[in-house]
Amino acid sequence: MAYLVNLTSRAESDLAILFEQINGESSMAARRWFRGLFRAVMELEKMPDRCPVTEEEPRLRNLLYGRKPHVYRVIFRVIEKEKRVDVLHIRHGAMRRFKPSSLE
């Protein structure tokens, strides 16, 4: 059974900022990369538990997308009872560790 992928307002904001940072409006390559990231996020509907738990919080998981040095982390939680994936945050992989309390 597929999971419902829910983007929190923070994750939506992260995506909008990222699109602007990579100049997605005027670069075809950047748009392609961004669409790939979005597809990867939406594919969490299939087996989200395949992704490892985060170092910061064992109740959260992360999906890595991209190639070094442009790797992004998609931080999410799986709510098994509701068959739902909440995407909480999307950040560059080189950023410092996050505080789980900052995602709620």
Q: What is the pLDDT along the chain (104 residues), one digit of tens a residue?
A: 799 999 999 999 999 998 888 887 888 988 898 999 999 999 999 999 999 999 999 999 999 999 888 899 999 999 999 999 999 999 987 767 766 666 66
Cα torsion angle, 67, 15, 40, 88, sign = positive
How high is the pLDDT of residue 54?
A: 93
Residues in the chain: 104
Could you tell me where the beta strands, DSSP code E, fall in 1-104?
A: 4-7, 61-65, 72-79, 84-92
H or E element at residue 12:
helix 9-21
Domains of the chain (ranges, CATH numbers): 4-103 (3.30.2310.20)
The confidence score (pLDDT) of residue 21 equals 87
> Which residues in 11-27 are b (16+ Cβ under 10 Å) and which e?
beebbeebbeebebeee
**Local structure of residue 3 (DSSP, 8 states):** P
